[in-house]
Chains A and B, each alone.
Chain A
Amino acid sequence: MQKKISNIPFAGTPEQEAKLKEAIARHKDDPGAVMPVLQEAQEIYGYLPLEVQTMVAEGLGVSVEEVYGVSTFYSQFALSPKGKYNISVCLGTACYVKGSGEILNKISEQLGIGAEECTPDGKFSLTACRCIGACGLAPVITVNDDVYGRLTVEDVPYILNKYQKS
């Protein structure tokens, strides 16, 4: 799946930047420093927008394209921020054969965003994740820490509605 690049304006703080600079300084001389620095950057910012990747590239003396190549190769790196409510749809084997693919499509259609994207109001983000270990409840989605199991496509609007209001 090709990653979607967020168009939500970057809102980094000076504290976050200081933390990132510290991480870059710590890894600067390591071989293959791009990946560990990107991991820390994602912990600091929650995702890896252009502004953050540029800081990483400049800090490590590599091109932004090299950093971007790494960030789009590994599925754990996100180019979009997480919303207030992050919906994870389990695409593990059990959930998938029970139809979680259709559930993902339905949520995507309702929110108007694809997987690894965030709604423009910052409310919802959508993640397609690996097995979360609740195969007995397949198909399963989580909304932040809430777990919903044995779902059908028809359940989707009701679940989304609950969070839309709050």
Chain B
Amino acid sequence: MEMLNIKINGKDYQVEKNTTILEACHKFGIRVPTLCYLKEINEIGACRMCLCEVKGARSLVAACVYPIDREGTEIFTNTPQIRKYRKMNLELLLSNHDKKCLSCPKNTNCELQKLCVEYGVNEKKYLGGEDPIRKEDHSTLHLVRNNNKCILCRRCVAACKQQYVSVIGANNRGFDSMIGCAFDQELDNVACVSCGQCTVVCPTGALVERDDTDKVFEAIADPTKHVVVHTAPSIRATLGECFDMPIGSNVKGKMVAALKMLGFDKVFDTNFGADLTIMEEGTEFIQRVQNGGTLPMITSCSPGWIKFCEYYYPDLIPHLSTCKSPQQMQGAMIKSYYAEKTGINPKDIVVVSVMPCIAKKFEIKRDDQGRDGMPDNDISISTRELAKMIKTAGIQFTDLPDEDFDPIMGIGTGAGTIFGATGGVMEAALRTVADVLTGEDLKDVDYKEVRGTEDIKEATYNIAGKEVKVAVTSGLKNAAKLLDQIRAGESPYQFIEVMCCPGGCVNGGGQPIQPGHVRNFTDLKALRAKALYEDDLALTYRKSHENPEIKAIYDEYLEKPGSHLAHELLHTSYVERKR
């Protein structure tokens, strides 16, 4: 490894050859401002915010794409000229930006706004140019695009491309340039899978989730409604970030306390729904193996992944598990089992789910979910929306004491909690499948081979004398590789887990937004997943079938996994979607 001696702002440093200026500066404690740069997926040097001076270079260079390849390179990151140009750059970006910060959903959480403050930008400065009013796209259930706030950084385009979807891109030219879909279609008319990765990377308010918090407040305020909330496994590992807590803080107890203060009548854990999913999905897997069903079987918890399969690989729909997602199972059980047990008319129950995902807003409205015209869940909000509600209510989140989820769907196992990270569904399923097939209470429940953030993980396990070959992937680009293998008839696996978002739900489209300079230099996925695996270790029950509330629901209500009633309430079907 060749090391170079360089100078940054007159100070001596050593870096590996071909490190970019941006990376070198980060290493030595200097944050160079960026807007377009996203490590590995959008290294295009387009926004020019990261301009730095390299002594002897013809002009200022873009730090994000400039490799340091010469001994003795002298770099300046903070000269009067650089500050002037960066400021001018921001003024140019503002010259056709709507500047309605006060009413912007990203107000105080906007990378453009923060840089404007840092550089003392004067928004009134006249810079000429056209500023047409651009059409907003409110066509989908999951997000809103407002191109009047777009700075054409193309991060969303890169995120969409990384997901193998590529339904958005830069259209037209010059002042007419804008990010949109082919033939100016609205997003709802193209094959968008609703994953929301674009909303997580947008540095401004051009892309935001559809805000459903008003509906939730309204339901809580309605005395005729019994409002039940349940929170997905990964929310406990990420919600704290919205309150400036360190990435990877487990805030389960505070989250439950905050939900109770918000006025929900019952606070349940979607980990229970995850455990129920394992009971059904594990049984389905065993039956498919024993009865010669379609293999490999692929998990079906991730609605973005399901939509992707329906659009792009409809021929592989028979491989999908027929199980509803944990969100939908939980909702279905609240409106049947819980309603019957408490004697509340399910029509008076409003089920709110808190999800790491904005595709869940689409999932609750899917066909073949719900019963008797009643949806399983009424409103689905993201981690970000929950944080907003807590702030609106004036709840001092970080000071809250821990509280526990409510019975009868408040116990989740470690198997349920790890659903939030890539590999978690597989590991949870294996824990149960292995016990069922061997008839034993196996002590070794750690399936470490399927953990971690690598693109594709594979493992072979010997369960009760039978070899089970599994694969785990996240991110649709990676999923496509495994799907192509199935199409070609070359898939060696019996069981595959797919999560739509890279790294799984901890990195979902509804999760807290970290600015580029954090995202680029922090392994968000791993830090957040770590909180879940620690939660798993600390829990009394680590296998779904050991969950006493799960045992109770089968004893009292569902009879057994895969029963007629279970099928009616907990399984679904899929449709081929035209692109």
Q: Which residues of A are in contact with B by a Cβ distance under 8 Å?
A: 1-3, 5, 50, 53, 62-69, 72-73, 75
Contacts and interface: CB of A to CB of B under 8 A. Distances in A.
A3 B178 CA distance: 13
B300 to A, nearest CB: 25
Given A63-B167, A63-B182, A68-B182, 10 more contacts: A2-B176, A5-B184, A50-B182, A64-B183, A66-B169, A68-B169, A68-B171, A72-B172, A73-B171, A73-B173
Interface string B167-193: 111111100100001111000001000
Nearest to B166: A63
Q: Counting chain B CB atoms within 10 Å of each CB, which of A2, A53, A67 scores highest?
A: A2
A116 to B, nearest CB: 12
7 contacts: A2-B172, A5-B183, A53-B183, A62-B166, A68-B171, A73-B170, A73-B172
Interface residues on B, range: 10 to 19
A17 to B, nearest CB: 19
B176 A67 contact: no
A65 B168 contact: yes
Interface in B74-91: none
Given A50-B182, A65-B181, A3 B172 contact: yes
A65 B176 contact: no
B154 to A, nearest CB: 11
A68 B169 CA distance: 9
**Nearest 6 A/B pairs, CB to CB:** A63-B166, A68-B182, A64-B182, A65-B169, A69-B169, A2-B176
Interface in B121-176: 165-173, 176
A65 B182 CA distance: 4
A79 to B, nearest CB: 8
Contacts of A72: 171-173
Nearest to A1: B176
Contacts of B172: 2-3, 72-73
Contacts of B168: 65
A50 B169 contact: no
Contacts of B176: 1-2
B493 to A, nearest CB: 25
Contacts of A62: 166
Nearest to B174: A1
A58 to B, nearest CB: 9
Nearest to A74: B173
A69 B183 contact: no
B184 A53 contact: no
B455 to A, nearest CB: 20
Interface in B376-391: none
Interface string B111-126: 0000000000000000
A2 B184 CA distance: 11
B522 to A, nearest CB: 30
A51 B176 CA distance: 24
B167 A69 contact: no
A13 to B, nearest CB: 22
Contact of B183 (A1, A2, A50, A73): A50
A53 B173 contact: no
A3 B181 CA distance: 14
Nearest to A75: B173
A40 B295 CA distance: 44
Q: Counting chain A CB atoms within 10 Å of each CB, which of B168, B170, B176, B181 scores highest?
A: B170
Nearest to B165: A63
Contacts of B183: 5, 50, 53, 64, 68
Contacts of A75: 173
Nearest to B184: A5
Contact of B182 (A2, A3, A67, A73): A67
Q: Counting chain A CB atoms within 10 Å of each CB, which of B168, B183, B184 scores highest?
A: B183
Contact of B170 (A5, A50, A53, A69): A69
Interface in B47-67: none
Contacts of A1: 176
Nearest to A57: B182
B91 to A, nearest CB: 25
Contacts of A66: 166, 169
A75 B184 CA distance: 17
A68 B178 CA distance: 12
Contacts of A5: 183-184
Contacts of B167: 63, 65
Contacts of B169: 63, 65-66, 68-69
A137 to B, nearest CB: 30
B192 to A, nearest CB: 11
Q: Counting chain A CB atoms within 10 Å of each CB, which of B169, B171, B172, B182 scores highest?
A: B182
